[in-house]
């Protein structure tokens, strides 16, 4: 289950300074601090607080949430069936195996005195395991190959984040084009491992592949060239940043 994040993590995740302050106070006082109280402490009006993007969080409405959940699973009928299947498999066999053969054992069972049955307590972990570990194993398969390709062209693999790779290459269009072509072969390969996904056989064996996006630029930030729609002091301006890679017609 998702654990409550630490104060440091919670503050790092929250860009709004007023919300950061609220998080900090609630942590220190160990109780909820209403926005009205925070506005009072800061000496500003609650309406100003709301204009700053803070205050009057809509109270959680369980009826709306339930309707939303039902509509979601109504639209993705296979998903509900897949989830039931995975939970059933994990609770009966107490083990799940991902398409790469990676195994996770489950020990979360609790005796229900009233029903006189064992209850499975790791539903969320079971549901997360196959997709999360599969992406992890795909990336691990790719990593040495991406590294070797970057090195082959005189570059370097700098970092990887979840499902993306960042490489540095010599600033030569032909080199970038060749690297792009090689990377497409690696990243958009067919994955025969995926023919059996958590015990479910997929419809088109050997045909599972992932489309990839490539961007190139001279710095790590998203590229942005200002237009007449931008403000005079547009903070996004970054003409040397990352833009979608354009393949030249052969
Ligand atoms: Zn701009």
15 Cα: distance to centroid of ligand 1 (angstroms): 21
Cα 95 versus chain centre, distance: 25
For the chain, give the percent of residues with pLDDT over 70.
90
Which carries the bigger pLDDT value, residue 184 or residue 209? 184
CA–centroid distance, residue 31 to ligand 1 (Å): 42
Global pTM reads 0.65
- Is pLDDT at 111 greater than 80 in this prediction? yes
Q: Residue 35 — pLDDT band, cuts 50, 70, 90?
A: confident
Q: Which pLDDT score is estimated for 1?
A: 46
Dist. CA 218 → ligand 1 center (Å): 18
| Residue 204 exposed, middle or buried by CB count within 10 Å (0-12, 13-18, 19+) | exposed
- Reported as type and span, the H/E element at residue 48 is helix 46-51
Residues in the chain: 250
Residue 100's nearest CA partner among 136, 72, 128, 55 is: 136
As a whole number of Å, the CA-based R_g of the chain is 25
CA–centroid distance, 240 to ligand 1, in Å, is 13
Contact indicator for 200, 178 with CB cutoff of 8 Å: no
Q: What does pLDDT average to over the chain?
A: 86
């Amino acid at each position: 289950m998702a654990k409550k994040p630490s104060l440091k993590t919670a503050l790092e995740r929250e860009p709004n300074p007023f919300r950061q302050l609220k998080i900090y106070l609630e942590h220190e006082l160990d109780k909820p601090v209403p926005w009205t109280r925070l506005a009072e402490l800061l000496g500003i009006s609650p309406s100003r607080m709301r204009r700053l993007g803070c205050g009057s969080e809509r109270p959680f409405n369980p009826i709306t949430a339930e309707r939303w959940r039902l509509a979601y699973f109504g639209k993705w009928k296979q998903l509900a069936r897949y989830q039931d299947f995975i939970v059933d498999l994990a609770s009966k066999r107490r083990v799940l195996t991902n398409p790469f053969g990676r195994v996770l054992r489950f020990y979360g069972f609790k005796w229900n005195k009233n029903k006189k049955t064992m209850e499975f307590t790791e539903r969320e972990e079971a549901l997360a395991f196959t997709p999360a570990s599969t992406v992890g194993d795909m990336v691990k398969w790719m990593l040495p190959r991406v590294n070797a390709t970057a090195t082959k062209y005189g570059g370097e693999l700098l970092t990887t984040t979840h499902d993306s790779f960042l490489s540095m290459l010599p600033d030569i269009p032909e080199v970038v084009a060749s690297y792009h072509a090689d990377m497409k072969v690696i990243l958009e390969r067919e994955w025969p491992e995926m023919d059996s996904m958590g015990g479910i056989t997929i419809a088109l064996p050997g045909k599972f592949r992932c489309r990839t996006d490539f961007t190139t630029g001279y710095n790590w930030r998203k590229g942005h060239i200002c237009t007449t729609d931008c403000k005079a002091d547009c903070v996004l301006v970054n003409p040397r940043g990352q833009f979608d890679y354009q393949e030249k017609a052969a």
